[in-house]
Amino acid sequence: MKKTLATILTLGLLLMSCAFAEQVPAINWSDAESAAAEIAGSWYVFNDIALEYWVPDIFENKDLTEADGEEMLAKHEVADGSAGIYAQYLTGYDGATMDETVATLQANGATEIERCTLNGLDAVSFSVPDVDAVYVVFVTQSGNYVQFIFTPVSDEGFAAVAQLVTASIRPET
């Protein structure tokens, strides 16, 4: 367990160091795959938008309900509900550039805004004041806007898991 945690934290530091680079950092699954190999996990696929991602098996894949709304693509939570990973399809962004998305986020008070290329997808991560979550928004190869929400990021162990899951988001292979 200590080795796994150390591997996840190392990956987290690697991803965080990319965020401080002057250029837009590239995050690739190939850089995180060995860390994930030490953790039991499952791949999930959104066929309609040609996207896949990996989630540790400690997170249960929850059924979607009407209350989740039409935008919700998936939700994964630990058994006690203390941590979750959520994926949403975002509407109203057709044709918007990532620069426009960043400007909208800034105008709406988002903080810790960071651009990156996520397995070839143009992406941005951000936080919202007083919300214990980090958001990752990106455009799929089919032009769809998707957002992943990871909560609670105040938990350092979960924040490392969120970084690992984020590294796995990629076009469907």
pLDDT tens string 26-78: 999 999 998 888 899 999 999 888 899 999 999 999 999 999 999 999 999 99
pLDDT value for 60: 97
125 contacts: CB under 8 Å, gap ≥ 6: 112, 113, 114, 116, 134, 135, 136, 137, 166
pLDDT value for 14: 44
E strand spans, the chain: 26-27, 41-46, 51-56, 60-62, 72-77, 84-90, 111-118, 121-127, 134-139, 145-151, 170-171
| pLDDT category of residue 172 using cuts at 50, 70 and 90 | confident
pTM: 0.84
- Is pLDDT at 173 greater than 90 in this prediction? no
Q: What is the set of domains in the chain, with CATH numbers?
A: 2-171 (3.40.1000.10)
pLDDT value for 3: 44
Burial class, 17, CB count within 10 angstroms (exposed 0-12 / middle 13-18 / buried 19+): exposed
| pLDDT category of residue 168 using cuts at 50, 70 and 90 | very high
Place of tokens 């058994």: 79
pLDDT value for 1: 44
- Is pLDDT at 98 greater than 60 in this prediction? yes
pLDDT tens digit sequence for 107-162: 999 999 999 999 999 999 999 999 999 999 998 877 788 999 999 999 988 988 99
pLDDT value for 53: 97
- Is pLDDT at 22 greater than 60 in this prediction? no
